[in-house]
Structure 1
């Protein structure tokens, strides 16, 4: 005869097994919500087709796996426990660094190269370096013939600037990174300048934080540092262009909430504050020369640059990243400057025609 405690245990077990399925259909409780940047499995349809019947069990499994009651809350709880108790990241694309720093492992998606490149595991060949040089020079010549000044700017990965906070398991093998290779190759084999912001950002880092602790991007002061380098380069071609100054040269570092994109990937952005947000006032009137139009192609690192460029141009035309922009459109816009800003992890994408514009050779 089954004892009462055993019966109670069995009933509780059945309730635990049944409750998520019931919640999936009834939606009684408010669920923690987050976006997975993918399309969730749709409810399968049972069709009188052999292929559909064979696929139906797997489709059901996928649907239940994506929509099971309390799924998001349970994933979040698992993340909180693993991060706070074990000090490990439950998300492959997020690396737990020292002193609570978070880093982005972009290879997981894939979304360019960060740690494989940082460790020197994927150096560029001489052929690839020369192909990159040819692409940059071809673009430079094309724009120059039409009176357009063309600038390519590479923003270092966060791990390049704050490598001291990487976990001990991330070890460089002594080989140069792709950015190191490419910058040196362009200096030695080309008259076209590609702006590598490493030195400027490493110097600025001594003054104030320049990247977020819980995000993969630079903060406002990091973006301002990159902007000043770009404007100084522009001033060599357009005399009278002067950079915006920081009012009273005062930069404050503060804690803000929620955390950045890496904290969001952990589903903990409301629990992990950002310690390295920077705040400062700028003097928008530079008193210098104002140019007509900027055609600005950028990835997410360029988002923080717009407010600095507006005082220098009568119009700024933005181009979305990874969507081809064509030469005809640029000519129609008649910009004085074409600026292309992208992160270090995307260097090899410059080998692809549509990274610059449609119709490249």
Structure 2
């Protein structure tokens, strides 16, 4: 019997025809050419907001450590800057979105195409599965009491407004794994405990929003924040409470304010931008807030930072003689146009710089101090401040 050598076995394997290799090489060259020639088409990149700075080209290494770090820096630069990147991200994320899931950990796709922001708690505060214990709620109320009493001694009023998240107002659009109906949350317990302690300055517009949500578009699928119509309801609730202390502060009818018509690229749409699908879905909401927070000629910035989060003073034409210190987050963007009608001066500071600004209170002596914060951020706001008890 004739044996078969390894050489015979190897020689018996089929060899790809030259035409196949030629096709592979041509395919690779075409792919490389496509990546380099695509920018010449000058197509508009999809709108994406990744909330980070993309990697820049690394500098020429100057020492051994720089050389060892160079490969990783080059990888990051190539990944962040290769042609077609934005198109591939947007296209893939839109495909995922249509299948009902997200391409980023910060966004959750709910039912009926609604998007929700995940702050790291996976919507557990609104589902009721994450809740402050009774001791923590008692401390929160003590912190509120401390601030209210400090301002009362100075002849100032104190208000706190909860800006509801849309998964609380529209439970029917939540992800299927969330409770289908609204349930008791820590915010309910906090407000109840504060009222029991004798404080009614916490403005909770949720009931009013729930009543009106079937008549108007108060939130939409593709942004975290309330629309201008939703913000108007919040404003109406806040000024109704303020009017108990300032009788001339009653809320104005919505007809007193003019809605704007921003271009599609200026529409509030933070969630669709984060996901990279903003160019593929419709954006249509009523807004009263422009791109600029306020007329620059009537704005005094209190630092070198001139962004929307910067501490600043807005000088309005209200002619009421009243000053407001507004400690706020992004939900106040839509609220601000309404408040300008009631205060000559609005001093604004973002909550990222502190949940209570004793320095601004002492310097500017406002008539009222208001904190407006997203519902799920309420738990973080009322830590005790020892120096408040000394004034």
Cα distance in 1 for residues equivalent to 2:362 and 2:67: 55
Whether the 8 Å CA contact 1:220–1:277 is kept in 2: the answer is yes
Residue 164 of structure 1: how far off its partner (Å): 0.9
- 2:253 paired with 1:245: yes
For structure 1, which segment, 200-209 or 323-332, has the greater mean C-alpha deviation from structure 2 after superposition?
323-332
Residue 190 of structure 1: how far off its partner (Å): 4.5
Report the equivalent of 2:350: 320
Residue 302 of structure 1: how far off its partner (Å): 0.8
Superposed CA deviations along residues 220-260 of structure 1, whole A, max 9, x for unmatched, are 111111111111111111223321013399x99x9984562
Secondary structure of 1:244 counterpart: coil
Secondary structure of 2:322 counterpart: strand
Give the greater-gyration-radius structure (CA). Answer: 2
Secondary structure of 1:44 counterpart: coil
**Residues matched between the structures, number:** 339
For structure 1, which segment, 331-340 or 137-146, has the greater mean C-alpha deviation from structure 2 after superposition?
331-340
Whether the 8 Å CA contact 2:240–2:251 is kept in 1: the answer is yes
Correspondence for 1:92 among 90, 95, 105: 105
Cα distance in 2 for residues equivalent to 1:158 and 1:135: 27
Correspondence for 1:185 among 193, 213, 216: 193
Considering only aligned residues, what root-mean-square deviation do their CA atoms show, in Å?
Answer: 3.3
Report the equivalent of 2:331: 301
Cα distance in 1 for residues equivalent to 2:175 and 2:119: 16
Secondary structure of 1:274 counterpart: coil
Residue 169 of structure 1: how far off its partner (Å): 2.1
Whether the 8 Å CA contact 2:328–2:371 is kept in 1: the answer is yes
Structure 2 residue runs without a partner (length 5+) = 1-15, 289-317
Whether the 8 Å CA contact 1:212–1:277 is kept in 2: the answer is no
Looking at both structures, which has the greater relative contact order when contacts are Cα pairs under 8 Å and sequence separation is at least 6? 2
Task: Evaluate the alpha carbon distance shift between residue 341 and residue 203 of structure 1 in structure 2; reply closer, same or farther with a 3 A threshold.
Answer: same
Correspondence for 2:66 among 28, 46, 52: 52
Report the equivalent of 1:347: 378
Task: Evaluate the alpha carbon distance shift between residue 17 and residue 176 of structure 1 in structure 2; reply closer, same or farther with a 3 A threshold.
Answer: farther
- 2:363 paired with 1:332: yes
Residue 208 of structure 1: how far off its partner (Å): 1.8
Going by fraction, where is strand more abundant, 1 or 2? 1
Task: Evaluate the alpha carbon distance shift between residue 172 and residue 245 of structure 1 in structure 2; reply closer, same or farther with a 3 A threshold.
Answer: closer
Task: Evaluate the alpha carbon distance shift between residue 29 and residue 348 of structure 1 in structure 2; reply closer, same or farther with a 3 A threshold.
Answer: farther
Residue 17 of structure 1: how far off its partner (Å): 4.8
Report the equivalent of 2:126: 118
Whether the 8 Å CA contact 2:158–2:201 is kept in 1: the answer is no
Task: Evaluate the alpha carbon distance shift between residue 223 and residue 295 of structure 1 in structure 2; reply closer, same or farther with a 3 A threshold.
Answer: same
- 2:279 paired with 1:270: yes
Cα distance in 1 for residues equivalent to 2:181 and 2:214: 26
Structure 1 residue runs without a partner (length 5+) = 108-112, 280-287
Whether the 8 Å CA contact 1:327–1:359 is kept in 2: the answer is no
Cα distance in 2 for residues equivalent to 1:261 and 1:308: 22
Alignment of 1:125-144 (within 5 A): 125-144=133-152
Whether the 8 Å CA contact 1:255–1:276 is kept in 2: the answer is no
Q: With structure 1 as the length reference, what TM-score do the two structures score?
A: 0.82
Report the equivalent of 2:243: 235
Cα distance in 1 for residues equivalent to 2:160 and 2:263: 32
Whether the 8 Å CA contact 2:329–2:372 is kept in 1: the answer is yes
Report the equivalent of 1:2: 17
For structure 1, which segment, 164-173 or 137-146, has the greater mean C-alpha deviation from structure 2 after superposition?
164-173
Alignment of 1:51-70 (within 5 A): 51-70=65-84
